Chain A
Amino acid sequence: MFSDVSRQLTDRLRAHSSVLSRELGGETVLLNLESGVYYGLDAIGTRVWNLLAQGHALADVCSIMVEEYDVPPETLQRDLMTLVDELCDKQLLVTVSSAPA
């Protein structure tokens, strides 16, 4: 189910130290100044990004967003993990801790 089996729902993540983010009209562009990677987040991706920036663990992000969006929890969790894996692969996000909240 998860593209990265090592990822846990208790994980907390933050922006890579070289990443700049610019939000405009509910969407966000990310730029890693070291690698030069640009990445665009739509409104839902921006919500994920902001919740992670506030220090929420992935499980919390799932719980909050299931309340906000009309989507089955398993679908949201799968999409969240896919997005997070991709952002980590592109060195836009890094894992801070895997300790339970």
Chain B
Amino acid sequence: MSQLDLLQFHAFCLTRTGTRLDQYAQAIAAAVREGDTVLDLGTGTGILAVLAYRAGARRVYAIESSDAIRLGELLAASTGLTDRIHFIQGSSSQVVLDEHVDVVVGDIHDTFGLQPGGLAALTDARQRLLRPGGVVIPHVIELRIAPVAAADFYAREIDVWAQCVHGIDLRPIRPFAVSHVHAGRFDEGDLLCRPEPIAVIDLRQSAAAHVGGTTTVTVGGDGVVHGLCGCFVTTLAGDIRMGNVPGDSRTTNFAQAFLPFERPVPVSAGDSIEMTLDTRDGHVVRWRAAFSRAGEQPHARFDHSTLHGLLLSRAALRRQAFEYRPALTARGRMERALLERFDGSTTASELQRWLQERFRDLLPTDQEAESFLKATIARCG
């Protein structure tokens, strides 16, 4: 994400996500007691960390992997909270604290529940950094799903790849568009039935990365199904809820997820649709559906996954397997040699000169050598 993208993303989160922040403020006020320590996972601009302090926390650890943490530090400094909020940049799984916190809070939602990796991050924080009996916000995320009629969206996002441009047939690309979880905005009227719960993630105790389930619905009227609408209802704490269910999404203004089918399916009132969802912490998502008329065998079946949407080369595919035996490339050997010179006494300028002398074939220009060096320093030095 570019720095402008970061600003725009957080501006959206802070000003255009309905009453989401109000719900979080209520949940934090309900959970945090005077003198508590709080961990804010994915703090971004640090708003939840400030709210936790206001709710009585004596210390807040605010973790953020992106450079948005600078914005959080600015806000904390401007509100005089520099000593109370400890900002830590990096992956939360790498963070070690001197104490166990009383509350872990994280707003890491996405259109269909948690962001990819969000479940692992919250579970790790709960297991390693939260004291026994401590509070996790959110408590529970319920994933819901419904068949959706989305002709315009489908034409724009899927069938855009079913045309010819200057005589070039784009259809070979279309399967990749089908194999993605898209973000769309749907009204209650677009759904062919009410969204049904398909999986419940209890963040207070769940440890499994796999989330999934099956539900069957009966269609109430005639129409055409283009895919599935995925949405969520989160219980932050107590009875404080937020979500993005079409028709009941006042709390967030989040888009919903659209999981397309390879082709639209006409349906009639009384038809049943069996819908199955599987995901491994959002990294790979699989959605299946079987359409049946009353008392008949399914006449249409779909089995899609984001694994089939990855733009992989054969070499990249091979690297996905545990049996893959990586061997250092020429660039890898260069990086290893460079890292051995990260000894705390050699300057970046000296390292760049050494790189250019030693690896002129791989880094033929000053700019490439500097770029490689700075990227390596950012990760490892």
Q: Which residues of A contact B (CB under 8 A)?
A: 18, 20, 22, 24-27, 29, 31, 33-40
A25 adjacent to B314 (CB under 8 Å): yes
The 6 closest A-B pairs by CB, nearest first: A40-B321, A25-B314, A33-B278, A34-B210, A29-B320, A20-B307
Q: Which residues of B contact A (CB under 8 A)?
A: 209-210, 212, 278-280, 284, 286, 305, 307-308, 310, 312-314, 317-318, 320-324
B322 adjacent to A29 (CB under 8 Å): no
Q: Which residues of B contact A39 (CB under 8 A)?
A: 321-323
A27 adjacent to B314 (CB under 8 Å): yes
Minimum distance in angstroms from B121 CB to a CB of chain A: 16
Minimum distance in angstroms from B212 CB to a CB of chain A: 7
Interface residue from B284, B312, B318 paired with A31 (Cβ < 8 Å)? B284
Bound Cα distance A27, B323 (Å) = 13
Minimum distance in angstroms from A21 CB to a CB of chain B: 8
Q: Which residues of B contact A40 (CB under 8 A)?
A: 317-318, 320-324
User: Which residue of the partner chain B has the closest CB to A41?
Assistant: B321
The answer to whether residues A27 and B318 also contact, given A33-B286, A40-B324 and a CB cut-off of 8 A, is: yes
Q: Which residues of A contact B279 (CB under 8 A)?
A: 33
User: Which residue of the partner chain B has the closest CB to A21?
Assistant: B307
Bound Cα distance A31, B283 (Å) = 12
B305 adjacent to A29 (CB under 8 Å): no
The 19 listed contacts between A and B (C-beta, < 8 Å) are A20-B284, A22-B307, A24-B314, A24-B317, A25-B317, A29-B318, A31-B280, A31-B320, A33-B210, A33-B278, A33-B284, A34-B278, A35-B210, A36-B280, A38-B320, A39-B321, A40-B318, A40-B320, A40-B322
